[in-house]
Structure 1
Amino acid sequence: MVLSEICIKRPVFATVLSLMVLLVGLMSLSRLTIREYPNIDEPVVTVDTTYRGASAEIVESQVTKPLEDSLAGIEGVDVLSSISRQERSQITVRFRIERSADSAAADVRDRVSRARRMLPDDVDEPVIAKVEADASPIIWVAFSSDRHSPLEMSDFASRIVKPRLQTLPGAADARVYGERRYSMRVWIDRDRLAAFGLVAQDVEDAIRRQNVELPAGRIEGREREFAVVARTDLVDPQQFGAVVVRPASTPDGYPVRIRDIGRVEVAPANERTSVRFMGKPAISLGLIKQSTANPLELKKGLLEMLPRLEAELPEGMSMTIANDTTVFIERSIASVFSTIWEAVLLVAIVCLFFLRNWRAMLVPLVTIPVSLVGAFALMYAMGFSVNTLTLLALVLAIGLVVDDAIVVLENIYRHVEEGMAPMAAAFRGAKEIGFAVVAMTVTLAAVYAPVAFMTGRTGKLFAEFALTLAGAVIVSGFVALTLSPMMCSKLLRHERSHGWLYLLIERFLVGLGSTYRRVLTRMLELRWLVMLAFGLVAASAVVLLGALKSELAPVEDRGRVVSIFSGPEGATIDYMARYAAQV
């Protein structure tokens, strides 16, 4: 072929071509997203609605049911589920995998806006959101202390730690769970309230009227001006307790204040969630990565920042990584990379055993890194990620990418052994085998490419696997037509005598060939028996296939137990925490 002849005549050009493939592949590898598995999640849209003060039955009948009836007619809906709790309705719409997430969310917004007039007037506006697979925390950090209250731990996590973690490379957000925010809580004595002829709404209205922040303007002079600050907002329990709920009816009368009908204290704004770590009350902070970020790099940045954060912790407070999901990604990818090195070593040993020449062994061996690294460029162009399946495809590709180079090597080496000069043998051998290498490369790639056109979850799962494998084979064909002939012209030599190891392996191969010839001759004499055995094996394969269990992916034991339980309607957080502590 013309390309092979050019590369044989210009070895520097052939070398530069392969170096360019390596360079582009390495640059693409640094930009590829790292995941445990390919992204095969269906589009999911949630509708959250809050109806304050409503029971679960009212939420279901007046909020959830009208919304469900409106959402049921959207095209492409696979599963529609809902949960109605006290004051809250949550509807989850799961679409088919081929549906676009953006268009699905737009359809949900349109249907919810139509159903809005059927909802109660005082219900909050429904919140519609797309649920992304990467929107869950990948690392959980727990704060615990035997000297500080949950309010103090939550305040430190929210003000000091959270902003710092959000600046980590690849971090999308950091969420505080079990958060206890400072607030002013007013506890009303209902007997006293009734004695004064008041209701809770009167207390709320009084606080709204008297706890305000008003702009007071500024004072301007000839050369200076001053901003006027009006301290009209309330900041401590005593000031809230002095709020007048009902003024005195007569000049010498007694106004009713909040401290007369209840008590005021600083307490958490919301205590409906709780977090425990190692059996003790705690505050957790979940770190969420960006959709295209490398979770291992995010973890590395967190580990580098942890010592600095721990140095700023108040005395008696501890900060611990409670759960790290990147461990499974890191170990699975490390395991696949070790498998790749083992496969390369085995291929090298096999090539050396059959070729019996270390110079000849280098020709197919060089094809492996160029083909595998070059496949990363194709993965980046197609929007793939580095995950367990794409790395598995590269492991399988190791045995395939050397085929083209071995075919070229064997044909050129044959001419060298016949006494032809290495340069002339390279020209002749590459010309004879060039189109056969192209046909073999296209055939191997065509075997795996159709998997990419499968539909549904299975097709999306194995598309990256198939196209990565096909891409590595295509790159190997390019290397076999450019770099391999050039290396053969420079490395191969005609050896008139061979060493003892060569002769020993040669005798073994000759004996193996003779044994196979005798066995094949005997099988041809007993061809009907061979066909009968073949039929029995094929029939048993069909029977055994029906007995095997089928699943999308094998079950993995990650050494983690997740328990989910729900309590009776109206159960408080203390009720649930008591049983959770027993678990």
Structure 2
Amino acid sequence: MKLVNTSVKRPVGVIMIVLAIIALGIVSLRNLAIDLYPEIDLPIAVVSTSYPEAAPEDVQKLVSRPIESAVSSIEGIDTVQSQSQAGTSLVIMMFNNGVNIDTALLDVREKVDQAKGFLPEGANEPNVLKFDPQQIPVMWVGLTGDNAAALQNIADDRLVPYFERQGGVASVSVEGGKIREVQIELDRAKLLQYGLNSQAVMQALAGSNQSGSAGVIEKGNKDLQIRIEGSFATLDDMKQTIVPTPSGAQVLVEDVGKVKDTFQEATSETLVNGKPAVVLSVLKKTDGNTVDVADNMNQAIEDVQNDLPAGVNLDVVLDTSTFIKMSISTVVQNMIIGGIFSLLILLLFLKSIRATIVIGLSIPIAIISTFTLMYFTGETLNVLTMGGLALGIGMMVDSSIVILENIVSYRQRGYSIIEAAKQGASELAPAVIASTTTTLVVFLPIVFVEGIASDLFTPLALTVSFSLIASLVVSVTLIPMLSSKLLTKAMEDNGRRYWFDRFMEKVNKAYESILRSVLRFRKTTILATIVAIGGSLALIPMIGTEFIPESDQGQIQITVQTPTGTSLEGTKATTDQVNTLLQEYRDSIETNYVSIGGGGYDSLSSSANEATYTIQLVPSDQREKTTTEVMQAIDRDLTNIPGAEITVSVMGAGIGTGDPIQIQLNGQDQDVLNELADQVVWTISDVKGVYNPASSVSESRPELTIDVNREKAAQYGLSYQEVMNQVQMGFTGQVATRYQEGGNEIDVKLIYPKDERSTISDLETMQIQTQTGTMLPLASIATFQQEQGPSTLLRENQQPQLNITSDIVDRDLGSVTKDIKTKLNNMNFPEGYSYTIGGQAQDMAKSFSDLAIALVFSIFLVYAVMAIQFENFLFPLVIMFSLPATVVGILLGLFVTGKPLSIPAFIGVIMLAGIVVNNAIVLVDYINIVRQRGKSRYEAILEAGPSRLRPIFMTTLTTILGMVPLALGLGEGAEAQQPLAITIIFGLGISSIFTLLLIPVVYTYFDDLSGKVVGWGKKKE
């Protein structure tokens, strides 16, 4: 080949190009972003609307439904879901794969704008945003000290603005602090005495707390701005505000109420390791990188630490980048170990340090070149792309080994080193190009697969492809050049007999003997192969399936839910019991962060009866139990706490795939759905592997409904709106104005004493003021009814829905899903009611279907490439017979290691379609070369087999041993690549044996068939 000759003739040029590639690769590596997984692009949009003080039924009827109807007609929408809670509506739109979510968001905003006119007057502006399942806080930072109010001010005034200026930070939210508020506690008796009501006080405060501009006046040749300053400067100004009475008298605010500088009533509390704290959660920008943002934040925390007041501490509570760095470090470590294994195999076979160096150089050059291509294609350094490099370590030297072996063969036949380099490389370059191309083309269909499988593994496919392309170029340019310069004396054995040579001679003789036998008993060989494949297929039911292996990142979530309506203090009493029990696990727990009443970072709403724990365990090498085992132990202990529903689960790795099991019940009647949900939870609880099943039917919320008699109210000159405003004022208070102090704005809230608004009796006897100033009890114009109302209402595609979710433990997802379907199919669902299974089970089924299609296309492309290379349809068909035998290795490997068939394992199967044919290509190609030299078919096979045994052994062993560290699953985050590595190791290992024995037999059959076809053709002529 011309490329080979040029590289041998011009070594200086090749070296300069290599040095330039290395320099560019190093620069690219420094600029590559680091993350745990590639970005998941799920086309989901969310419309969030608040409707304060509205019950869930009203939110659904008046807010959720109009928005649902408006957006349902948008092109490309697959599913519309809504969640209606007290005061909050969420409408979630899931689009079909391939829809541009940015364009879709414009359509959503347009439809929502059209629906605004149908929303009730009290509803706030709807917010439209893109949903990002990976958008969890990058870091939680705890601020501790003795003065809770001071901590809130430090967080709001100093830390939040400073942190939000850091690179990649989108927003910083504060939880757990005390917010300052000025409360004016009104005295009903005094108001009645002066003939006033709360509205009069509110108007007086709002009117007195104003500043404004009154134009300009001239002073000399300058214009002076006239400003009337009327804002409250002190609390005394507020107290001295004049409130005019109906009689014309003037009273002061302090005459009718007490002005208190206090704090808003606490609705949540946060604890870090059992101590109260203000917690700041940091969200990254959509295009931000987790590790970069975390590094920027750690530096910012270090910079601001010394400026904090005495006794105030700022510490990192949870840092998600820690696990990412540990995972990448594990992959790099596995790459190094795999590379060392590969080099040792080369040294063992080649018996020469120089020859090992020649081939070993292809590894770093291929890796560095890959970094350059990754940078220009926008990929990140993550567990999967780095895993792709680790998987490619062994394959990177395959082409170089084949080329070098042939160069040495020519050298041993008496050619000069220069001629040996040219002839040896040129002769097998087409076969090497064909074998590398077959490995590359299997990835093409993966790029066109849609959904999560594509988002996760397209980067891996690109990385492996980049490394193989780089290694191919090295093998046909750098390897011949280095061989001509460094191997002048490398392969001379000087009469010494190396122990490994003696071993390989015995292996060669044994292989030649076996090869003669299989050629003699061809039908027996074919039959034995078929039996082996059939026997391996019997293992399928015992293997099972799963989506993506969970990484043991040591994070556990505990959700505590006390009876609906429980106060913050009541929920805190339960969490105190949880904290006491968690003390038994203090050696395993690194950080324990709990949000009481805040709902947690991933909650759509907050409630005083809920608490969420986020627990970070110590690294896996510092504890004896896995995260799942610790989770199960904690779960068993917490079942002893009465009066609360407590769920313990392992937190995922942020892929955003939802719960493993998610059953969606659909139907028209909410009550029927509630009953079905309870039956389904009870039914699937018996399925082995189902863990903590729960339904979205939350405990009904107690409500006291006030039914205002509008006719009676009208008799007293009261409208329904006036009655509602006075009731709201009497029990929740109202913000009258805002008070500015030191650049901060503080709410000024009118409120009645707590002992006048705490019981049902207080509500019934509450005095309602009429237009004439007379007072009458609320009970005289309204009736009261206590009832239970739903706390959450769900709908999907404008039909009521309920969800049942479950984790799985000690069993694969596919088997659990199959048993659940069997159980549900045996249930008698009423007419018009149905179920669907979503979550990871649905994602797994969709991904397997897509990847199966990709596998079929990959096999076709492999055949097409070989047909083009050989310019023959027959020989590629012979080579393709190495693929069926791969099934034996794949299923045997998964069965022996106890790993289910997962998405990574399926990717390994697709990769094998391109890898296992390489050995067959080299073997068949060399058989043809020997036959062209004039030898018979039988002699050619017996010569080509033992001759190619050595390079086939080398390429197979370097690929397998390069992946062994990944297959062992050692270190953090290695679980994702483990099934892929196991699949390739066993599949390639077993198929290599079949390739060496089966392919020669198949070759003879097809050669006989070809002879008959040619003979028939001649007879016809």
Instruction: Please report the TM-score for the alignment, with normalisation by the length of structure 1.
Output: 0.90
1:282 to 277, 285, 293: 277
Unaligned runs of 5+ in 1: none
For 1:434 and 1:398, how far apart are their aligned partners in 2?
Answer: 20
For 2:418 and 2:320, how far apart are their aligned partners in 1?
Answer: 55
**What's the CA shift for 1:354?**
0.7
Cα distance change, pair 459–297 in 1 and its aligned pair in 2 (3 A): closer
**What's the CA shift for 1:553?**
0.6
Determine the structure 2 residue equivalent to 1:155.
153
For 1:190 and 1:56, how far apart are their aligned partners in 2?
Answer: 33
What secondary structure, in the 3-state scheme, does the structure 2 residue paired with 1:34 have? coil
Q: What code does the residue aligned with 2:65 have?
A: K
Q: What code does the residue aligned with 1:85 have?
A: Q
Q: What code does the residue aligned with 1:328 have?
A: F
Q: Which moved more, 1:175-184 or 1:112-121?
A: 175-184
Kindly indicate whether the alpha-carbon contact (under 8 Å) linking 1:448 and 1:469 is maintained by their aligned counterparts in 2.
Answer: no
Kindly indicate whether the alpha-carbon contact (under 8 Å) linking 1:39 and 1:461 is maintained by their aligned counterparts in 2.
Answer: yes
Cα distance change, pair 224–182 in 1 and its aligned pair in 2 (3 A): farther
Q: What code does the residue aligned with 1:437 have?
A: V
For 1:191 and 1:539, how far apart are their aligned partners in 2?
Answer: 92
Q: What code does the residue aligned with 1:440 have?
A: S
Q: Which moved more, 1:541-550 or 1:523-532?
A: 523-532
For 2:317 and 2:191, how far apart are their aligned partners in 1?
Answer: 46
**What's the CA shift for 1:477?**
1.2
Cα distance change, pair 543–107 in 1 and its aligned pair in 2 (3 A): farther
Deviations 1:263-303 (A, max 9, x none): 33233457434322222321111222334444333333333
Q: What pairs with 1:402-413 in structure 2 (closer than 5 Å)?
A: 402-413=397-408
2:409 to 414, 423, 430: 414
Determine the structure 2 residue equivalent to 1:172.
170
Count of residues in correspondence between the two structures:
578
1:436 aligns with 2:454: no
Determine the structure 2 residue equivalent to 1:362.
357
Q: Which moved more, 1:498-507 or 1:121-130?
A: 498-507
Deviations 1:357-398 (A, max 9, x none): 111111221111111221222223333222111111111111
Kindly indicate whether the alpha-carbon contact (under 8 Å) linking 1:449 and 1:467 is maintained by their aligned counterparts in 2.
Answer: no
For 1:540 and 1:261, how far apart are their aligned partners in 2?
Answer: 91
Determine the structure 2 residue equivalent to 1:100.
100
Q: What code does the residue aligned with 2:486 have?
A: L
Q: Which moved more, 1:562-571 or 1:443-452?
A: 562-571
For 1:244 and 1:570, how far apart are their aligned partners in 2?
Answer: 40
Instruction: Please report the TM-score for the alignment, with normalisation by the length of structure 2.
Output: 0.53
Q: What code does the residue aligned with 1:275 have?
A: T
Kindly indicate whether the alpha-carbon contact (under 8 Å) linking 1:339 and 1:395 is maintained by their aligned counterparts in 2.
Answer: yes
What secondary structure, in the 3-state scheme, does the structure 2 residue paired with 1:33 have? coil
Kindly indicate whether the alpha-carbon contact (under 8 Å) linking 1:80 and 1:93 is maintained by their aligned counterparts in 2.
Answer: yes
What secondary structure, in the 3-state scheme, does the structure 2 residue paired with 1:92 have? strand
Kindly indicate whether the alpha-carbon contact (under 8 Å) linking 2:418 and 2:484 is maintained by their aligned counterparts in 1.
Answer: yes
Determine the structure 2 residue equivalent to 1:76.
76
1:498 aligns with 2:493: yes
Determine the structure 1 residue equivalent to 2:140.
140
1:382 to 377, 381, 391: 377
**What's the CA shift for 1:195?**
5.3
**What's the CA shift for 1:570?**
5.0
Kindly indicate whether the alpha-carbon contact (under 8 Å) linking 1:174 and 1:285 is maintained by their aligned counterparts in 2.
Answer: yes
Q: Which moved more, 1:525-534 or 1:230-239?
A: 525-534
**What's the CA shift for 1:153?**
0.5
For 2:85 and 2:233, how far apart are their aligned partners in 1?
Answer: 34
Kindly indicate whether the alpha-carbon contact (under 8 Å) linking 2:137 and 2:281 is maintained by their aligned counterparts in 1.
Answer: yes
**What's the CA shift for 1:221?**
4.8
For 1:261 and 1:502, how far apart are their aligned partners in 2?
Answer: 110
Q: What pairs with 1:441-480 in structure 2 (closer than 5 Å)?
A: 441-480=436-475
For 2:572 and 2:244, how far apart are their aligned partners in 1?
Answer: 40
Deviations 1:336-372 (A, max 9, x none): 0001101110110011111111111112211111112
For 1:386 and 1:110, how far apart are their aligned partners in 2?
Answer: 38
For 1:432 and 1:159, how far apart are their aligned partners in 2?
Answer: 73
**What's the CA shift for 1:196?**
4.6
Cα distance change, pair 544–513 in 1 and its aligned pair in 2 (3 A): same
Deviations 1:490-533 (A, max 9, x none): 11114685379862221111122223334445566676665555
For 2:520 and 2:189, how far apart are their aligned partners in 1?
Answer: 106
Determine the structure 1 residue equivalent to 2:294.
299
**What's the CA shift for 1:573?**
4.0
For 1:443 and 1:28, how far apart are their aligned partners in 2?
Answer: 28
Q: What code does the residue aligned with 2:230 have?
A: T
What secondary structure, in the 3-state scheme, does the structure 2 residue paired with 1:176 have? strand
Cα distance change, pair 301–240 in 1 and its aligned pair in 2 (3 A): same
For 1:260 and 1:541, how far apart are their aligned partners in 2?
Answer: 90
Q: What code does the residue aligned with 1:90 have?
A: L
Percentage identity across paired residues of the two chains? 29
**What's the CA shift for 1:14?**
0.5
For 1:106 and 1:502, how far apart are their aligned partners in 2?
Answer: 76
Cα distance change, pair 440–523 in 1 and its aligned pair in 2 (3 A): closer
**What's the CA shift for 1:581?**
3.9
1:207 to 181, 184, 205: 205
2:307 to 309, 312, 315: 312
What secondary structure, in the 3-state scheme, does the structure 1 residue paired with 2:386 have? helix
Cα distance change, pair 50–104 in 1 and its aligned pair in 2 (3 A): same
Cα distance change, pair 268–484 in 1 and its aligned pair in 2 (3 A): farther
Kindly indicate whether the alpha-carbon contact (under 8 Å) linking 1:247 and 1:256 is maintained by their aligned counterparts in 2.
Answer: yes
For 2:227 and 2:300, how far apart are their aligned partners in 1?
Answer: 39
Q: What code does the residue aligned with 1:207 have?
A: L
Deviations 1:228-272 (A, max 9, x none): 76542124433223333334734xx3x343333333323345743
Kindly indicate whether the alpha-carbon contact (under 8 Å) linking 1:445 and 1:471 is maintained by their aligned counterparts in 2.
Answer: no
For 2:532 and 2:253, how far apart are their aligned partners in 1?
Answer: 88
Cα distance change, pair 7–53 in 1 and its aligned pair in 2 (3 A): same
Q: What pairs with 1:2-151 in structure 2 (closer than 5 Å)?
A: 2-133=2-133, 135-145=135-145, 147-149=146-148, 151=149
Deviations 1:390-438 (A, max 9, x none): 1111111111111111122122222222332222222222332333332
Unaligned runs of 5+ in 2: 579-1021
1:239 to 229, 237, 254: 237
What secondary structure, in the 3-state scheme, does the structure 1 residue paired with 2:167 have? coil
Cα distance change, pair 374–493 in 1 and its aligned pair in 2 (3 A): same
For 2:495 and 2:193, how far apart are their aligned partners in 1?
Answer: 112
**What's the CA shift for 1:70?**
2.4
